[in-house]
Amino acid sequence: MNPVFTVCMEFPDLMKRIFAVILSIFLILGLFPAAVFAAPDWPSNISIEADGGIVMDADSGAVLFGKNLHETYYPASITKVLTALVVLENCDLNEEVTYSYDAVYNVESGSSNAGLDEGDVLTVRDSLYAMLLQSANEAANALAEHVAGSREAFAEMMNAKAAELGCQDSHFANPSGLNDENHYTSAYDMALICQAAIKNPVFLEIDGSRYYDLPPTKRYPEGSTVYAHHAMLIPSRADYYEGAFGGKTGYTSLAGNTLVTFASRNGMTLVAVVLNGHQTHYSDTKAMLDFGFSNFQTSRISDLDSRFSSLADDMSIAGLPAGDLSRLSLEEGMITLPLSASIGDADVSVNYQLEDSAPENAIAQVQYTYNDRVVGTAYLMAKDGVELPGSTDGEASAPLEGETPAPETEANAADSGKAESSVSAGTIALTAAAVLAAALVAAAAAWHFYQRKKEAEKLARRRAERRRRLEESGEWEEFEKIRAQQRERRKETEK
């Protein structure tokens, strides 16, 4: 028996650590070409007039271009993307919404509306069309009251949802996006919200519609029709963009022009966000989308990266216990790279601390970075529930019931002796190589942890600032309460 395997079976925790180290060493040394060439530069031939903006690949989450990514701005009516997402996660489309006096009249004079009045009764579906196409503020208010009882309580749900999606720069105070000094977001946070929204098929159906017929109301006894405002979705408009399939417009005196747009071409889906635009929101969006589609490609990681599938063979050749590692696969991940680059130009890190949302058979999360940009993530999976070495609490496999272990013959003993001698020689050589590899890995790890520490400190400062703002507004305790409730509901759902 391989002596390395014997020791590791007796110490399962050691086995897991050895597996992690071996995987890292082979990823860095054994699976990459010896020659190292500088990766092509990240494309940068773009500029926009708006104060803040971003174009993100919706599948990989890679940020292709950003301007003032984490600066905060007033979002105006693009807020309604988050409002719709919260409503869809908490309501049936056929539920009836009764419009209160406060919902209809507690809006700024002259702001967008669908002509609805106190006492009107529409379904959630009708109200969502009015809100997303016509940008009706009274519809946003009525939906918020229907879901949470009040606009203030609904805003707390919005903040909890934003935090769940990873937003760190935002605070929402109302469902419509009308002016409020405590209502703000960043380009990056808004892209995360849009990335989540377009995964909802009902949101896509409503948001991508050109028009919708509302039922009879007090002011319109014959019914009325609401129309999409986003010019890039309308073929007859000069700003129409081929491939655009959804988005939301926004404007207030404080926010300026804001715009979110979703578009697909050649297998890529992009999200573009413009904040505090200066009447160039459409040209800025076109510039960002053109930049993304012209300079990048998005692919399934498992189609490009075969290094993990060859890991077991490489480990076996080195005399290490690979077991069922041939059943490892890289799944559920996309990567976005410049057209002039290949996946070999990306750096890879492996994280074994998985979140609760990770797939059941996930062993680790593999993150790809390109010139310090995160360009894709994927999960390293064990197929068919295969257990890793060391996951059986260190017990050797027992013979099945009724099965007699084969006796060790002299020939077997001789073969075993030869094998152990061979392994011993191989182990010495491997140990020398491993020492060198470990030194290189240690240096790389030190730099990696230094960078991680800096990122963690930056994130902690951002969270502290967020908490300070919430405490000043008296909303921190309620915010934490809602997040706790959401975590409990998620646990119940997973059961």
Active site residues: 77, 80, 135
Say how far apart CA 344 and CA 437 lie, in whole Å: 20
Say how far apart CA 212 and CA 218 lie, in whole Å: 18
Q: Which residues contact 188 (CB under 8 A, 6 or more apart)?
A: 54, 63, 66, 69, 70, 169
By the 8 A CB rule, do 128 and 144 touch? Answer: no
Q: Which residues contact 462 (CB under 8 A, 6 or more apart)?
A: 70, 168, 169
SS (H, E, C) 394-446: CCCCCCCCCCCCCCCCHHHHHHHHHHHHHHHHHHHHHHHHHHHHHHHHHHHHH
Nearest to 482 by CA among 164, 142, 144, 146: 164
Across-strand partners of 98?
A: 121
Nearest to 246 by CA among 190, 298, 194: 194
Say how far apart CA 350 and CA 364 lie, in whole Å: 6
Say how far apart CA 112 and CA 77 lie, in whole Å: 9
Angle between helices 12-25 and 3-10 (to 10 degrees): 130
Amino acid at site 105: Y
Cα-based angle 201, 380, 363 (whole degrees, multiple of 5)? 105
By the 8 A CB rule, do 255 and 51 touch? Answer: no
DSSP H/E element including 363 = strand 362-370
Cα-based angle 313, 314, 315 (whole degrees, multiple of 5)? 90
Cα-based angle 355, 357, 363 (whole degrees, multiple of 5)? 60
Say how far apart CA 470 and CA 155 lie, in whole Å: 12
By the 8 A CB rule, do 37 and 349 touch? Answer: no
Owner of token pair 């719709």: 84
List, edge to edge, every strand of the sheet that includes 373-382.
Answer: 296-300, 328-338, 373-382, 362-370, 347-351
The 10 Å Cβ neighbour count of residue 264 is 16
Residue 154 Cα to chain centre, angstroms: 24
Owner of token pair 């889906």: 269
